[in-house]
Structure 1
Amino acid sequence: MPDAFRCVVLIPSYNSGKLLRRTVSEVLAVWPDVVVVSDGSQDGSQHALDDLLLQHAGLHLVRLQRNGGKGRAVLYGAQWAEQSGFTHILTMDADGQHPAQDLPDFMAAGRQNPQAMILGKPVFGPEAPAVRVWGRKLSNGLVWLETGGAVQDCLFGFRIYPLKPFLQAMRMSRFMRGFDFDPEIAVRLVWMGLPARNKATPVRYLEKSEGGISHFHYGRDNARLIFMHVRLILTWVWKKLCGKRQLFPAEKHAQNCGSHGV
């Protein structure tokens, strides 16, 4: 009987510098299956894994020739994972923000709930930039409306997705390829009926002296988020007007996970 939960850690990376090798090494210390998608990187970071690829049979690298955005990179990685026999992906960033030590707890939650999304809910430390913490409150409020409260943090990319519905949702839309990926995919999957499990986990913000990086462009990416929410809210209103009372079929399944499993 095939395993209902076979998960690979999927790390999209664009010009991640020295943090990529550090992140991948931390993951390999606790989980053997990892695929890194180098999204048109030009800083040489894609070559920082060359020796690790020889040492770890479960580590794979997908190289994309041009930078196309986080969502596009994750889609390529998810397609690779499907072809390689995996049932789930756990996405995490390459910049050191997501804690590799929480991977076993997330994997346990995913194995216990193979039909659900496991969504990281960030616990911010004192070093977190105030503009980041407060800026996401608006998006979270809108996504709360769009999902009936099922998704408690829409921008945190530390998540487990079941592959089949994930790929179905991605292939149905030409959006969700850039910074709009994390919030929109969660909303779309809730609308498709996928249960959401929200699991608290710490988030780290590294200083520039530690190699900390950010590819967020306030003008471009905030405009992208505004456009995304306009599209989603119009869809939400349309479905309401059409009398689709079960707009949030997974709402009753939404719940919080503890810090050590479901």
Structure 2
Amino acid sequence: MPPRSPTRLVLIPSYNPGPRVVDTVRAARAQWTPVWVVVDGSTDGTADSLQALAAADEGLRVIVLPENRGKGAAVLEGITQAAAAGYTHALTMDSDGQHPAALIPAFMAASQAEPGAMVLGKPVFGPEAPALRVKGREVSNGWANLETLWMGIGDSLYGFRVYPIAPLARIMRRNRFMRRFDFDPEAVVRLCWAGVRPLNLDAPVRYLSAEEGGVSHFKYLRDNALLTWMHARLFLGFVLRLPLLVWRRLSEPTS
């Protein structure tokens, strides 16, 4: 197993991911130490499997929340405990096997080279990716780039990314939203507003079929309504911040 990092950890929020979560966690542990899993009120028995895995692995920690609070809430719990333990950065990844554990070292290295930045995965889709999901995310990406005056968000929804913990925790504590599915895009927009530069790296994403053990909690109408409401809030915040954002963009050095 890799040596323990004193500053960076892998953080995996998990809600009813099915048995593939064990493979996901093992793949992450093969690439990094430590790995923390936040079980977000799962009812599928995976908390027991993960705790058994952690009992035999000092590099794995499992935090079990008593009820489902949402992805953002699980990440906030994880980064709050991570900051208390002295960690400065967290790489988040999904628990269902969609994200490339093999790229954890490369993303962490990019974060170490530019610790003030957030390292965002830019998804490379395979032929199995649902066209509706691929095209639909372009809407959110367009809004996110408008709301940040095109600071360079390669993808607003892809959850494989490295966050600097301190600014993310500060932003989340100031906002009562960012607790559920809308966490990923709102986090990158608000971090851009706070002056955290995005750094984009290509990363594959796998859409697993049910036969392959894939589990999806995406609800098209519910979650798109949530994203619409989120971008409405962010656009208002963008209008209020527009003079500052314009000044920042004009003050950036030209290459």
> Structure 2 CA distance, aligned partners of 1:247 and 1:205?
41
> Structure 1 CA distance, aligned partners of 2:126 and 2:179?
29
**Under a length normalisation based on structure 2, what TM-score does the superposition of the two structures give?**
0.93
Change (3 A) 1:70 1:252: farther
Contact kept in structure 1, 2:193 and 2:245, CA below 8 Å: no
Q: Which moved more, 1:191-200 or 1:229-238?
A: 229-238
Q: Give matches, 1:36-47, under 5 Å.
A: 36-47=37-48
Deviation at 1:58, TM superposition (A): 1.6
Deviations 1:170-221, CA, capped at 9 Å, x for gaps: 1110010011100001000000001110111111111101110111111211
Gaps of 5+ in 2: none
Contact kept in structure 2, 1:239 and 1:247, CA below 8 Å: no
Percent identical pairs in the alignment equals: 51
Could you say what the CA RMSD is over the residues aligned between the two structures, in angstroms?
1.8
> Structure 2 CA distance, aligned partners of 1:187 and 1:250?
19
> Structure 1 CA distance, aligned partners of 2:138 and 2:59?
37
Deviations 1:27-64, CA, capped at 9 Å, x for gaps: 11111201100000000011112332122212101110
1:165 aligned residue (164, 167, 173): 167
Q: Give matches, 1:47-126, under 5 Å.
A: 47-126=48-127
Count of residue pairs the alignment pairs up: 248
2:192 aligned residue (190, 193, 198): 190
- Structure 1 moving runs of 4+ over 4 Å: 245-253
Contact kept in structure 2, 1:191 and 1:248, CA below 8 Å: no
Q: Give matches, 1:143-222, under 5 Å.
A: 143-149=144-150, 150-222=152-224
Contact kept in structure 2, 1:196 and 1:250, CA below 8 Å: no
* Partner secondary structure for residue 244 of structure 2: coil
Deviations 1:137-172, CA, capped at 9 Å, x for gaps: 111111110112221100000010111111111111
> Structure 1 CA distance, aligned partners of 2:186 and 2:250?
16
Gaps of 5+ in 1: 254-262
Deviations 1:216-238, CA, capped at 9 Å, x for gaps: 11121111100011111111122
> Structure 2 CA distance, aligned partners of 1:164 and 1:250?
27
* Partner secondary structure for residue 31 of structure 2: coil
Change (3 A) 1:248 1:74: farther
Change (3 A) 1:41 1:252: farther
Q: Which moved more, 1:173-182 or 1:77-86?
A: 77-86
Contact kept in structure 2, 1:190 and 1:249, CA below 8 Å: no
The aligned counterpart of 1:259 is none
